[in-house]
Amino acid sequence: MALGTVSKVMNGIPVGEDYRRRVRQAAEKLGYQVNNYARGLKTNRTCTAALIVPSLSHPFFAALAHEVCQALTARGYRMIPFVTSFDPEAEQACIRMIRQNKVDGAIVLTYNPNLEVDPELPFVTIDRYFSATVPCVSSDNFGGGQLAAERLIERGCRRLAFLRTGSRVPGEADKRGDGFEGYCRSRGIPVESLRLNDGDGPELFAPFLRERMEGGKLALDGIFCSTDRLAYDICGMLAGMGVRVPEDVQIIGFDGMRKFGDADLYCSTIVQPVRKLAETGVDLLLAEDRSQLPAMVCLPVSYLPGGTTREPPEAGKELGRGQ
Amino acid sequence: MALGTVSKVMNGIPVGEDYRRRVRQAAEKLGYQVNNYARGLKTNRTCTAALIVPSLSHPFFAALAHEVCQALTARGYRMIPFVTSFDPEAEQACIRMIRQNKVDGAIVLTYNPNLEVDPELPFVTIDRYFSATVPCVSSDNFGGGQLAAERLIERGCRRLAFLRTGSRVPGEADKRGDGFEGYCRSRGIPVESLRLNDGDGPELFAPFLRERMEGGKLALDGIFCSTDRLAYDICGMLAGMGVRVPEDVQIIGFDGMRKFGDADLYCSTIVQPVRKLAETGVDLLLAEDRSQLPAMVCLPVSYLPGGTTREPPEAGKELGRGQ
């Protein structure tokens, strides 16, 4: 058998099935291992991709890293995670390190609006639109905001509020509030908003809530929070004020995070399709033809009740609809 | 300047400070990037380490991956995570892939007692003693069990139980129950145990609890659970039986997991020093002299109240002691 045939098999280039099987068997018998570093030098392909995220321990990023790792593994790739701790300079340093490590591409959850990316390096962003040449994958944040409004109004809410905390850097997640407010207005339902930034501290929401207490009762009956974490903090504040959830006010969060990663939801929530986000990101990153990639892919979200809303008796049926 | 000097600087071999600075400046000006693949072929060092874990989304593994990634980055290394989903065959496949990817070492949280490891590859295990030649890093599980017993008895508990669920493969975590039961017996406090395995389902704890209901009251006043997750499930079961926590029975878990990764504890708990576990594992993995490594390192744990115990008024002081 020609050496070229062996090389083709070991590098995944199609040859006859019989050749492929014989080369694989011989390699196994000899204990032959591909040296990915030698291959990386020769082919300029390393079968590794970077994932740049603020943290690996925050549950949303942990779930995303888990799914990206699984999706890359299924395609024969290794994931190299880089942790930025929300530091724009650390993000830029990651981009430099990536060049040095010769990865085949990068999936990036960035908070640096001025990030200088290598035009040669395949690049996909999550949740943050960058430019027409960098595909962005995100949940349908606008539609998720609409869905939260629809669900609260269906459950009898008539005085609504949107509470938001998050990065100062504009991103796709900002559309959650736009979708929520737009839906409320289109139905003639009054809606108020308080939009804060990370670092402002959740305690700044307390005055907003206290100002809306009238005769020991909250003058709002439905609140949409921009994340499950914020919903959790708001529930704690309301408990301290003697306001009952969901009896006095119903609350919907966003993300679909679960306790211990796979147990109960923290609250009723708009669920992000984390696995689908990861798989779509990996598909776009590894696409053979990069001239035809979409600039933006928004994936559908769903509603799940998690104890902070009053579910109608037919909730079971509706759950299916929302999925 | 000699080419050899440049090579030394770029490969981190000591040269005079003035040479080092000049080479770095020239490299920066020219936009020179080290090609880690070329370096890997030449030096047989790749500055990458594998982390083999069952999952990246489970909060304990997510926290561990985060800290291992940070500790490796601080030492100029990249982490390549491998997800095994608790499958022993997947673990063995990871070991094969690692050889192909030429990592400099691996940190492994394994559930495969028959794992064949490469004697040439630096290897550190977490939570599972493997052999005298493979360093194992774990929390002081035995001491943590003792500490849980001590805290429950101090808080007035006189009829105790230990509940356990986890892998069928023996591991360091099994010592939690041994420490707990040993401490209770040494103080003459009655203690019962129920040890189940993953896959048995937490509902199998319900009959154990129901059999100990006497006249509508639980005949136990303190329960130590082998994990925070189990403590969370047991609290849910007890609520369904009309038993109040911590008024009727006090509960301590193990791990120190927090909601959303950094918010409230799920329960009163024995906290594992996750960052210290990661840093110690990385130190042992990258140690220059591998002939002098300890076979086992147990790191101290601490107690933190999290709402499922009745804390004495001087709890503040005691918290300091437990840390």
Q: What strands, in cross-sheet order, belong to the sheet with A302-304?
A: A191-195, A160-164, A222-225, A250-255, A269-271, A302-304
CA angle A164, A166, A169 (to 5 degrees): 125
Residue A1 has pLDDT above 80, yes or no: no
CB-CB: which of A48, A65, A100 is closest to B56?
A65
How many Cα neighbours within 13 Å face the side chain of B85? 8
Nearest to residue A261, comparing CAs of A62, A81, A126?
A62
Closest CA to A57 of B138, B271, B65: B65
Asked if B229 has any chain A CB less than 8 Å from its own CB, the reply is yes
For position A319, what pLDDT does the model report?
A: 47
**Confidence at residue A12, expressed as pLDDT on a 0 to 100 scale:** 59
The answer to whether A221 touches A192, Cβ cutoff 8 Å, is no
Q: Which pLDDT value is given to residue A322?
A: 36
8 Å CB contact of A56 and B34:
no
pLDDT reported for residue A6? 67
Residue B258 DSSP code? B
- A171 or B11: whose pLDDT is higher? A171
pLDDT at A21: 74
Cβ within 8 Å, pair A261-B62? yes
B44 in reach of chain A (CB within 8 A): no
Question: Contact A57/B59, CB-based, under 8 Å?
Answer: yes
> What are the residues facing A265 on neighbouring strands?
A258
- Is the Cβ of B202 closer than 8 Å to some Cβ of chain A? no
Indicate the residue of B40, B57, B97 with minimum beta-carbon distance to A62.
B57
CB-closest option in A63, A66, A257 to B83: A66
Do strands B222-225 and B160-164 pair parallel, antiparallel, or not at all (unpaired)?
Answer: parallel
Is the pLDDT at A170 greater than 70? The verdict is: yes
Distances from the Cα of B239 to the Cα of A19, A118, B16, angstroms:
64, 56, 69
Of the candidates A321, A172, A190, A155, which has an alpha carbon nearest to the alpha carbon of residue A254?
A: A172
Evaluate if residue A5 carries a pLDDT over 80: no
CB-CB under 8 Å, A261 with B35: no
Residue A252, number of CB atoms within 10 A of its CB: 31
Average pLDDT over residues A187-197: 95
Local structure of residue B272 (DSSP, 8 states): P
pLDDT score, position A243: 97
Residue pLDDT, tens place only, A115-165: 887 788 899 999 888 888 899 999 999 999 999 999 999 999 999 999 999
H or E element in which residue A137 lies? strand A136-139
Q: Chain B contacts of A259, Cβ < 8 Å?
A: 232, 259, 266
The token duo for A312 is: 């109608």
Distance in Å, alpha carbon of B10 to nearest chain A alpha carbon: 12
The tens place of each residue's pLDDT in chain B, 323 residues long, gives: 666 776 666 655 667 777 777 776 776 666 555 555 555 555 567 899 999 999 999 999 999 999 999 999 999 999 999 999 888 888 888 888 787 767 899 999 987 777 887 788 899 999 888 888 899 999 999 999 999 999 999 999 999 999 999 888 888 899 999 999 999 999 999 999 999 987 777 788 999 999 999 988 999 999 999 999 999 999 999 999 999 999 999 999 999 999 999 999 999 999 999 999 999 999 999 998 888 899 999 999 999 999 999 998 865 544 433 33
**Secondary structure tally for chain B: helices H, strands E:** 11, 14
Structure letter (DSSP) for residue B259: G
Q: What is the pLDDT of residue A105?
A: 93
What are the phi and psi torsion angles at B46 (to 5°)? Answer: -115, -5
Spatial separation of the C-alpha atoms in residues B272 and B274, rounded to whole Å: 6
Mean pLDDT over the full length of chain A: 87
Name the residue of chain A whose CA is nearest to B79's CA. Answer: A80
Residues forming beta bridges with residue B194, ordered by sequence position: B163
Tell me the average pLDDT across A200-226.
92
Q: Residue A282's pLDDT is what?
A: 97
Q: What is the pLDDT of residue A320?
A: 39
Q: What share of chain B is helix, strand, coil (3-state, %, to 5)?
A: 45, 20, 40
Contact A41 B38 (CB under 8 A): yes
Q: Compute the 3-state secondary structure of chain A and give helix, strand, coil in percent, each to the nearest 5.
A: 45, 20, 40
Q: Which residue of B has its CA nearest to A80?
A: B80
Residue B226's alpha-carbon distances to A243, B222, B269, in angstroms, are: 35, 13, 10
Give B99 to chain A, closest Cα distance, Å.
7
Task: Please answer yes or no on whether A69 and B83 come within 8 Å at the CB atom.
Answer: yes
Specify burial of residue A12 (Cβ count, 10 A radius: 0-12, 13-18, 19+): exposed
Nearest CA in chain B to A53: B66
Q: Which of A33, A81, A101 has the CB atom closest to B99's CB atom?
A: A33
The half-sphere exposure of A197 on its side-chain side, counting CA atoms within 13 A, is 7
Q: What's the distance, CA B253 to chain centroid?
A: 15
Q: What pLDDT was estimated at residue A323?
A: 32
Q: Mutate which of A56, A60, A75 to disrupt the B interface (most B C-beta within 10 Å)? A: A56
CB atoms A56 and B69 under 8 Å: yes
pLDDT in the model for residue B19: 75
Q: Provide the pLDDT for residue A147.
A: 98
The verdict on B120 touching A (C-beta cutoff 8 Å) is no
Residue B118, Cα to own-chain centre: how many angstroms?
Answer: 23
* B259 and chain A in contact, CB less than 8 A: yes
Gap from A192 CA to chain B (nearest CA, Å): 27
Residue of A32, A44, A58, A66 to mutate, testing the B interface (most B Cβ within 10 Å of its Cβ): A66
Answer yes or no: are the C-beta atoms of B94 and A73 closer than 8 Å: no
Please state whether the peptide bond connecting residue B246 to the residue before it is cis, i.e. omega within 30 degrees of 0.
yes
Q: CB of B275 within 8 Å of any CB in chain A?
A: no
What would the pLDDT profile of A29-63 be if each residue is shown by its tens digit? 665 555 555 555 555 678 999 999 999 999 999 99
Backbone angles phi, psi at A112, to 5 degrees: -115, 105
Give the Cα separation of B124 and B285 in Å (integer).
6
Task: Give the bridge partners for A191, in sequence order.
Answer: A160
Amino acid sitting at position B230: L
Cβ distance A259 to B81 less than 8 Å, yes or no, reads no
Residue closest to B88 by CA, chosen among B121, B54, B63, B55: B54
CB nearest to A81's CB, from B33, B81, B229 = B81
Cβ neighbours of A99 in B, within 8 Å: 33
Mean pLDDT of the A103-115 span: 86
Give the model's confidence band at A70: pLDDT under 50 very low, under 70 low, under 90 confident, else very high: very high
Lowest-pLDDT range of A21-35, A223-237, A303-317, B7-21 = A21-35
List the single residue in A65, A101, A232 with the smallest CB-CB distance to B263: A232
